[in-house]
Amino acid sequence: MHQPSDALLAARSAATLNLIDADANPGGLQIWSGGEPDLGRDIYPIPAHATGTAYSEGDYVTAGLHYYRAENSGTSAGATPTWPTDGGTVTDNDITWQDMGEIPALLGILSFTQPAGTISGHTLSLTIAGTPTASQSGTATWARIVNGADGLVYQGDCGTVGSGAFVEMGTLNVVEGGELRAETLNIWG
């Protein structure tokens, strides 16, 4: 069994707080629906799939309500493939596409105060500014902590309270105009 020291935990908390506060603008917790992208990947805009087009490994495209990641570089076929919506893959000429899930949509942002929080011992407590409301409806599936310049600090899944997810929420059903609330953040799992 291994366990980090209190000093290491305190240093990680301080480093996390410094990353969140790295910009003059406050950081925030973004709550998203849809499939979680690769760590830190920009997902706006994701272009629609095009036939007869060169793609590089890691490129994202949309088709229908899902998005897909190129598992290798190549050129798409002259006809559109039948896209899986079950997390599977499809071959498109010499490209293999991985179903990443539904196209992500930003449900809302919980803005932090600045500084974003405090550290007591080795526990980091983040403080939300005001009462955030959802900008659109959907099911919360993943989230990102970003600094004020949208620099990624942390990314992970959303789940209900007690699930052990990165962001634990009372309900994952987010309603546009309703209060957006995270109960717990589990940064180091």
How does pLDDT run across 22-65, given as a tens digit for each residue? Answer: 999 999 999 999 999 999 898 889 999 999 999 999 999 999 99
How does pLDDT run across 111-168, given as a tens digit for each residue? Answer: 999 999 999 988 899 999 999 999 999 999 999 999 999 999 999 999 999 999 999 9
Taking CA atoms, 7 is separated from 21, 60, 104, 118, in Å, by: 21, 41, 37, 16
> Looking at residue 62, what is its pLDDT?
98
> Looking at residue 1, what is its pLDDT?
75
How does pLDDT run across 82-116, given as a tens digit for each residue? Answer: 999 999 999 999 999 999 999 999 999 999 999 99
Provide the whole-model pTM. Answer: 0.92
Which class for 135: exposed (0-12), middle (13-18), buried (19 or more C-beta within 10 A)?
middle
Instruction: Give the N- to C-terminal CA distance of the chain in Å, as an integer.
Output: 16
